[in-house]
Chain A
Amino acid sequence: MLPVVLTLLIFTLYPFVYQVYLSFTHASIYNYLNPPFAGVDNYISNLATEILFWQSMGVTTAFVIIVLSSEFLIGLGVALLVFQMERGQRILMTIFILPMSMAPVYLGIMGRISLHDLVGIIPYLQRVLGLPILSYTNPSQALFIVSMFDIWQWTPFMFLIIFSGLVALPTETLDAAQVDGASGWTALRHVILPMLKPVLLVGLVIRAMDAIRTFDIPYIINQGGPGAPVGATTTVSVLIYKLSFAYNRIGTGAAAAVLLLILLTIVFSRVSKYLIR
């Protein structure tokens, strides 16, 4: 027990104190050992003057809403459909979970290839099917494209846990509902969904926490998008990274991180009860 606590303590107490300290300085990579004091400048530029933090939180929130709702609905739908199939469940499972095994970085590279005008499958299908062309250089479409990749990768997660939840349901209850003459939709709304509620909540909480910290895909696909410092796909993680390591404004990045930590602690303390039982 002690080693774990010690290890994790090193990773919380020291960084936390240091982070708060940095957020009140004009730290950069050149003066990080003795950074000049900045007062609340960093917080002001995050929250008021440049509103960096709010802008990136807006991007993050939009992203979370898009991916969470799509992944939930598609995952639930596919899980219910596969659950009703008599054969081929195992092989479909194995194929459906493949996207999850891909590191987001490789998915990002795949995304760059797939979207490329000359060689990508997406422009190809758009031409064949006559759909409008998407481009990640267009700010209003960039977030949608990034979400699309996240949905492609993580719908399988929702599918997997909902499917395993369905398999674990007692068959008697399902049969009883059928005997009582409940049609498909009624059984789904009044029997299956209420019984799946704990599983659905765990899935949503985990996906939400992971979506909030999304970094790899927006970073690889278009480095947070056109427009600086907060572009169309600059999630809050990308913002903190860009401020600290690309713009060399470590203090401002640290302030954004402290703000995010406060926000997430509040959110997490509310939702963690679904995970800890």
Chain B
Amino acid sequence: MDASSKRRLTVLIKRSLVTVWLMIVILPVLWIFLMSIKTNAQAIEIPPPWFFDPDWSHYIQIFFSERFELRPSMFNSIVISLGSAALSIVLGFPAAYSISRFGTGGRNLAFWILSFRMLPPVLFMIPMFMLYLQLGLVDTHIGLIIMYLTFNIPLSVWVLKSFIDDLPRELEESAMVDGCSRFGAMLRIAFPLCSPGIVAVTILCFFFSFNEFIFAMVFTSRQARTMTVMASTFVTQYTYKWADLAASVILMVMPMMIFVAIIQKELVRGLTMGAIKG
């Protein structure tokens, strides 16, 4: 075998390995999607049909059904995730700024904030549940918004800090020479310059809150029940309506897939808490 055909063979093997992984990623999702546009009867046919007349009615049924309660829980999820994302920016930006610029609290404070992201939520769930019972915060939007700050604040502080670290100090310093206060310099100079970071962090906080399950399951029951909790009840209730179940999964997964594709560039920084700039 000569060198060029050997090279071509290597390229072919490499391509096919990537294709195998591509199949592993795509096939399960494609399968569920195809199932969602079959009729419930077609969904259990063996062998499964790959070509058929698509039936989109499940999506409409799921979305408008009173029994599925998709819309109220979607509304709850959106309100809670937006609230928590906004609060973590408002609280997180000044903290990130002071850690970045003055080294406030040193390594210990940084370590402590980061540990929230790393420790399992079940660790503080029991006492928080007791506290919430006594405060009447169980099953309220505000209760869950506060709960979600436990993982959103470390995220926003650390990722925003890595963005502020990248900004030149001179801009704020010259603003201060021109009579701007430190706080003014932070708000008028650093904040707008960080806007790509702020957008990314907001989306990431929204993303993690929207997908969160264990807190939502424990801390809500009816009024503030989020989409993930409602979805978890689907499996047991609707196992015989395969197409409906599949449509609901696709419907719930789609928005986040689009979001993640949008912030692809900032994803590395966000997921590694600013440790890798991406």
Mark A residues whose CB is within 8 Å of B: 1, 3-5, 7-8, 11-12, 14-16, 18-19, 22, 32, 74, 77-78, 81-82, 84-85, 92-106, 108-110, 112-114, 118-119, 121, 124, 152, 156-157, 160-161, 164-165, 168, 199, 202-203, 206, 209, 212-213, 215-216, 219-220, 236-237, 240-241, 244-245, 250, 253-254, 257, 260-261, 264-265, 268-269, 272, 274-277
When A161-B268, A257-B126 are in contact, do A3 and B48 touch as well, CB less than 8 Å? no
Q: Would A202 and B272 count as touching, CB distance under 8 A?
A: yes
B15 to chain A, nearest CB (A): 8
Are B29 and A98 in touch, CB under 8 angstroms? Answer: yes
User: In the complex, what distance in Å separates the CA atom of A37 from the CA atom of B278?
Assistant: 52
- Annotate B13-49 by CB proximity to A: 1 below 8 A, 0 otherwise: 0110110011011111101100100000001101110
- Most chain B CB atoms below 10 A, which of A101, A112, A124, A272: A101
Interface residues on B, range: 35 or more
CB neighbours (8 Å) of B246 from chain A are: 113
Please give, as numbers and ranges, the residues of chain B lying within 8 Å of A215 by CB-CB distance.
120-122, 213-214
Contacting residue for A97 out of B122, B133, B235, B264, CB 8 A = B264
**Cβ-defined contact, A237 with B276, below 8 A:** no
For the complex of A and B, 9 pairs with smallest distance between CB atoms = A213-B120, A103-B211, A101-B260, A18-B127, A15-B127, A4-B95, A15-B124, A121-B31, A240-B122
- The reply to whether the CB of B176 lies closer than 8 angstroms to some CB of chain A is no
Per-residue interface assignment for chain B, residues 235 to 278, with 1 indicating a CB less than 8 Å from any chain A CB and 0 otherwise = 10000001001100100110011011100100110011101111
Q: Which residue of B43, B99, B105, B232 is within 8 Å of A220 (Cβ)? A: B232
Contact A253:B126 (CB < 8 A) given known A3-B91, A275-B273: yes
A11 near B116 with CB under 8 A, answer yes
Known: A11-B150, A106-B253, A152-B24. 10 other contacts (CB 8 A): A15-B131, A98-B261, A99-B25, A113-B246, A114-B32, A152-B28, A203-B272, A216-B214, A272-B111, A276-B107
Residues from chain A with Cβ under 8 Å of B231 in the complex: 105-106, 109
Whole-angstrom distance between the alpha carbons of A213 and B124 in the complex?
13
Among B110, B128, B210, which residue has the most Cβ atoms of chain A within 10 A?
Answer: B128
Q: In the complex, A123 Cα to B267 Cα: how many Å? A: 34
Q: Is the CB of A18 within 8 A of B28?
A: no
Q: Which of B24, B123, B207 contacts A101 (CB 8 A)?
A: B207
Measured CB to CB, the closest approach of chain B to A121, in angstroms, equals 4
CB <8 Å contact, A161 and B272: yes
Q: A206 to B270, alpha carbons, bound, how many Å?
A: 12
Is B253 in contact with A101, judged by CB distance below 8 angstroms?
yes
User: Given known contacts A240-B122, A275-B114, is B21 in contact with A165 (CB within 8 Å)?
Assistant: no
Give the chain B neighbours of A236 by CB distance below 8 A. 120
In contact, B31 and A11 (Cβ under 8 angstroms): no
In the bound complex, do residue B232 and residue A95 qualify as a contact, i.e. CB atoms below 8 Å apart?
Answer: no
Could you tell me if A119 and B21 are in contact, using CB atoms closer than 8 angstroms? no
Q: Is B224 an interface residue (CB 8 A)?
A: no
Chain B's nearest CB lies how many Å from the CB of A225?
A: 16
Query: Judging by beta carbons under 8 Å apart, are A106 and B252 in contact?
Result: yes
Q: By the criterion CB–CB under 8 Å, are A119 and B35 in contact?
A: yes
Contact of A92 with B31 in the complex, beta carbons under 8 Å? no
